[in-house]
Amino acid sequence: MDKSDFYSVLGIARDSSQDEIKKAYRKLAMKYHPDKNPDDSDSMKKMKDINEAYAVLSDPSKKQLYDTYGHRGLEGYTQEDIFSTVDFDSILKGFGLGDLFGSREGFFSGFSSRSRGNRSKNVGQGADLRYDLEIDINDVVHGLDKQIEITYKDSCLECNSTGAENGSVDSCTYCDGAGQVIAEQRSGFTVMRQVSPCLHCGGKGVQVKDRCKKCEGLGKLDVNKKINITIPAGSDDGHAIKIEGEGGAGSSRFGDLYVVVSVKEDVRFFRKGSDVYTEENVDSILAATGGSIDIEGLRGTLLMNLPQGSQNGDKVIIEESGLPEIGSSMVGRHIVILKLITPTGLNKKQLELLEQFNNI
């Protein structure tokens, strides 16, 4: 079955900002959420599509893959991976809608029970991180082993993540430590109760008197970590490598790291998939007679056979001398575009011979 385009599912343009993507998602989720359409299987299906589109487009590395390769670009992800980066609950909470991953059986009918089980494990998982890495054409040919350094936030042990000097905090005086405030509004016989987080303590219920000096009251510290990564040969722009457990710190487990590759443009080799193109200057007399010349290839010198009577702009194909295809033993082609050059500075003898040739 063909999958719908994620942008049309959300009804947005391809160049929409993250803010617009989020707005579009909320609007549609309000309309199709199962709490609003009980037992309506069409709405459920629609909601699942909306969720998936949002999960992909709201995550920079998945979005880039999708933008470049369409649905095919996401084949390396399990459904679980696709949804792992989105906290749907917090996005929808403001609307009083229920937990999407709750007990409503069948809502995620396309999912394995494992993915629902893992959902609860994601609580306490650190943030996923993205690391952009630029490589050159040589790295595409041979692959690349590299050590990178990432920075993530980890709990400050000095203050036990409280942000307070020695970890000593007081109850918030505005909400008495509850973290939330309740406003009551009477209208006739009805009483409206509205619960909202306490703005003074940000819902934490505690107040910091003296800030922790080590983390300056943030409760978190920047940690640098060196990680060895391997970029496979044949990588292309937007290729993302997932490194499990090397993301940000969480209370129960680390998030994942996504290394997103971009390939530097090369002045000599122009890439098209696994094929490379180069332009070669060829003496027009040699082009007329045919012959062979040495050219610079991706892996050293290549011998190019020049057919007799080659013309300016002709292409000569050298098989299996292009770029490797990722995850396969296939190698693309090196395609040479000929640029014929008329010889200059000929000596007397050479000119005489050419004139004789013209008169034959």
Interface residues with Zn ion (CB under 5 A)?
Answer: 156, 158-159, 172, 174-175, 198, 200-201, 212, 214-215
> Considering beta carbons, is residue 57 or 198 the nearer one to Zn ion?
198
Smallest separation, CB 179 to Zn ion (Å): 6
- Read off the tokens for 215: 């983390």
> Considering beta carbons, is residue 156 or 336 the nearer one to Zn ion?
156
Smallest separation, CB 166 to Zn ion (Å): 10
Cα gap 209→204, rounded to integer Å: 14
Burial class (CB in 10 A: 0-12, 13-18, 19+), 158: middle
> Considering beta carbons, is residue 141 or 175 the nearer one to Zn ion?
175
> Considering beta carbons, is residue 141 or 198 the nearer one to Zn ion?
198
> Considering beta carbons, is residue 158 or 266 the nearer one to Zn ion?
158
Smallest separation, CB 196 to Zn ion (Å): 11
Q: Which of 295, 290, 329, 333 is nearest to 309 (CA)?
A: 290
Longest dimension (CA), the chain: 115
| HSE-up of residue 314 (Cα within 13 Å, Cβ side) | 17
Cα gap 162→142, rounded to integer Å: 48
> Considering beta carbons, is residue 50 or 159 the nearer one to Zn ion?
159
- Read off the tokens for 99: 């937990």
DSSP, residue by residue, 112-163: -HHHHHHHHHTTTBPPPEEEEEEE-HHHHHH-EEEEEEEEEEEE-TTTTTS-
Q: Could you count the other beta carbons within 10 Å of the beta carbon of residue 255?
A: 21
* DSSP count for the chain of H helices, then E strands: 10, 15
> Considering beta carbons, is residue 105 or 184 the nearer one to Zn ion?
184
Smallest separation, CB 126 to Zn ion (Å): 18
Smallest separation, CB 207 to Zn ion (Å): 7
Contact (Cβ atoms closer than 8 angstroms) between residue 260 and residue 267: no
